[in-house]
Amino acid sequence: MIILSIVLRQKDRGFFKPQWIKLTNCLIVLMPVETKAKKCWMLDYTRSLWRLMSYMFVIFVSPLLGTWLSNKPLSPYLEFPPIPEKTQSPDFSWGVFCLIAVFSIMALKPFLSRIMLSNTRPYPEMPDQYCFPFWGWLGVIFMMLAWLVAWNRFEWFEAVQAFTFTPLWLSFILVISALTYRRIGRCLLINHTRYYLVLFVVSACLWWSFEFLNRFVQNWFYVGITDFGPGRYFIYATLPFSTVLPAVLGTAEWLNTFPGISVDLNRFKRLHLVDGKMIALSCVVAAIIGFAALTIWPKTLYLLVWLLPILLVTGLQSLTEKPALVLDIEAGDWRRVWTLAVSGLICGLFWEMWNVNSLAHWQYSVPYVQRFEFFEMPLLGYLGYLPFGIFCGLFADFILPSSLKSS
């Protein structure tokens, strides 16, 4: 491998100082194409690993810092596997319920009004020109079988009764990808297979971070889980956690095939969110302070669990480049933000539906709004799936290089 280096001379206080610049990013390199591609892949891999490590470090250290500052013992938050238990949350409050409901309506109203009252007609929808693929039918059959055994208690299935979540969501991913393929003849699973498979690994890291944050706010807990050791618990939990990102992004891809869902949101309000590294660094610092405060006042600030990760990832990525979603918003294009939010809500409905009658499932203990349950989730709890869907898109863009998706 021959690397071309350039010596630049720069005037500095009356004399010239030599500087050696290694042109790796610009790829002004003399090397074979195969070697160049391998080098780019290694650079992307290293960047992705560092980004993931920086995110996980902040998520892990910041809440523990708040715990230490509040003179609470750290050991309960470091136990593994965690001990599932229901905590006593503050009673239902109509004032808090109405405040959250009104704020949510005000946040959603501009989007819904824009879509429903738009004079712009979306492109006429073409009839489905592609057959539903055979692997989609396999997903449907597999889903029905997994659903059947998840909601029943067959003696012959008792040994694996607690592990139906992963088959359900693997089949969901197959079906939603098949639905996308039927409409446009392509999908992430088929046309960007390597990117989609890597999503499973990234997804496991993403949801483990939320599981760790939940140790401090204790908004959900698991029941029907047998006593596993640390190793088995990690494996059995990581498998379903790995399906989160593929499900949400697969659903968003399917929604994007319906122009009417986000009609006229490509000419919406322009916002300049993160402009400059100082603002990006301020976002990271604010997220760290927020995570620390979350552990000091968990019953009051628990909503930040779904908002602070967005602030953190936006700040971390903006230190080197603006996130794609931020660039879209600055251009007035909110279509992807909207479809990600809706896809999070759709997946949330399926999560809660399949959870309610399963042997191993989760229950909720949400301060001030634990009422009007739909399945196990209190009604206002579904609002959390909207920012979570947006975060899934942000996190995938943050960790995975665009070159992986284009390959």
The model's pLDDT over 28-77, given as tens digits with 9 standing for 90+, comes to 344 454 555 556 667 778 888 999 999 999 999 999 999 999 999 998 89
The HSE-up count of residue 308 (CA atoms within 13 Å, CB side) is 25
Measured between alpha carbons, how far is 143 from 150 in angstroms, rounded to an integer? Answer: 10
> What pLDDT sits at residue 13?
40
Q: Residue 341 — very low, low, confident or very high, per pLDDT cuts 50/70/90?
A: very high
Q: Which residue has the higher pLDDT, 34 or 11?
A: 34
On whether residue 38 sits in a domain, the answer given is: no
Q: Write down the pLDDT at residue 121.
A: 63
Q: Does the pLDDT value for residue 270 go beyond 70?
A: yes
Instruction: Categorize the per-residue pLDDT at 355 as very low, low, confident or very high, splitting at 50, 70 and 90.
Output: very high
Q: What percent of the chain has pLDDT over 70?
A: 86
Whether 273 has a pLDDT exceeding 70, the answer reads: yes
**Quick check: is 21 in a domain?**
no
Total domains in the chain come to 1
For the cut 70, the answer to whether the pLDDT of residue 362 exceeds it is yes
According to DSSP, residue 30 is labeled B
pLDDT of residue 42: 76
What does the pLDDT average to over 373-378? 93
Q: Tell me: pLDDT of 347 over 50.
A: yes
Q: Cis link prior to 73 (omega < 30° from 0)?
A: no
Cα–Cα–Cα angle for 147, 377, 300, rounded to 5 degrees: 150
In a domain, 101, yes or no: yes
Residue 156 above 90 pLDDT?
no
Q: Are 274 and 326 in contact (CB under 8 A)?
A: yes
pLDDT category of residue 380 using cuts at 50, 70 and 90: very high
What is residue 126's predicted lDDT score, i.e. its pLDDT? 58
Q: Is residue 252 part of a domain?
A: yes
Judge whether 16 lies within some domain. no
For the cut 90, the answer to whether the pLDDT of residue 141 exceeds it is yes
Containing structural domain, residue 220: 44-406
Contact 311, 287 (CB under 8 A): yes
402 Cβ contact list (under 8 Å, min separation 6): none
pLDDT tens by residue, 182-213: 999 999 999 999 999 999 999 999 999 999 99
Question: Does residue 18 form part of some domain?
Answer: no
- Residue 22 placed within a domain: no
**Cα 345 from Cα 369, distance rounded (Å):** 18
Which residues lie across from 222 on neighbouring strands? 362
Q: Is residue 31 part of a domain?
A: no
| pLDDT tens-digit series, residues 169-179 | 999 999 999 99
Q: Which long-range contacts (CB under 8 A, 24 or more apart) does 127-133 make?
A: 128/182, 128/183, 129/185, 130/181, 130/182, 130/183, 130/184, 130/185, 131/182, 132/178, 132/179, 132/181, 132/182, 133/178, 133/181, 133/182
pLDDT, position 24? 44
Q: What is the pLDDT of residue 230?
A: 85
Segment (H or E) for 205? helix 193-217
Do 142 and 167 meet the contact criterion of CB atoms below 8 Å apart? yes
Averaged pLDDT score across all residues of the chain:
86
pLDDT at 7: 33
Which residues are CB-neighbours of 324 under 8 A, at least 6 positions away? 336, 397
3-state secondary structure of 45: helix
Q: How confident is the model at residue 285 (pLDDT cuts 50, 70, 90)?
A: very high
Beta carbons of 52 and 399 less than 8 angstroms apart:
yes
